[in-house]
Amino acid sequence: MRMGAGYSPAPFFFLNTPQMNFTYAAQPTGTDLISLADMKEFLRVDHSDEDTTITAIIDAAAQSIQDYTGRHFKSTTFSFLLDSFHFIEFPYQVTTVTSVTYLDRAGAPATLATTKYFTDVSRQPGRINFKNTPDLVEDKFNRVTINGSVSNDINPPLTHAIKMLAAHYYENRRAVVVGTLSAIEIPLGVKAIINPYRIINTR
């Protein structure tokens, strides 16, 4: 993510362990979704002195809303790490699961047969469970990797919410830098827009 000089907004929420083990092959930038010109019009900025900062603010707002909602704003692939085979609800949006790999008892990578797991990605959050799974190598973490894909899940309300949050960051840059409450709270107007789109993990 591009960041403007002296600007380092805090995220809205704190990632838990399952989310930290979820990685995307590609992340969108804010300007993939909202052009600099559109954002400057929204902010009523008619000069170019702050273009770098505004671009960074768009990126920060897009990333924060993507993380908060659990939806992805760019079609890409993902990997999700587990220590063992067990039922999970994905912390983020999932479109398909393409494979599951693991470290066998000897520590060698192997691909799990599709007959040994089943998925449900027709609902959100998606979920996966396993049956009759092989033994794993001992004394290691991240022994199971779930691989899959996600589709672009942006829509006009979320795009508008990104603009609103970017405007909040723009107007509260000092508070964001020093890490005060406004840096970690979602403005009520933004929350009202994005909460209906949030993927809720129940486990």
pLDDT digits (tens, 9 = 90+) for 136-175: 999 999 999 999 999 888 999 999 999 999 999 998 876 4
Buried/exposed code over 121-155 (b: 16+ C-beta within 10 A; e: otherwise): beebbbbbebeebeebeeeeeebbbbbbbbeebbe
Quote the mean pLDDT of the chain: 84
Confidence of residue 202 (pLDDT cuts 50, 70, 90): low
Whether 45 has a pLDDT exceeding 70, the answer reads yes
**pTM, to two decimals:** 0.75
Q: What percent of the chain is modeled with pLDDT above 90?
A: 59
Does pLDDT of 65 surpass 50? yes
Percentage of the chain exceeding pLDDT 70: 83
Q: Which residues make beta-bridge pairs with 103?
A: 109
Q: Which residue has the higher pLDDT, 92 or 176?
A: 92
User: What are the phi and psi torsion angles at 190 (to 5°)?
Assistant: -70, -45
pLDDT tens digits along 24-42 = 888 877 888 999 999 999 9
Does domain 17-73+153-197 bear CATH number 1.20.120? no
Question: What pLDDT shows up at residue 10?
Answer: 33
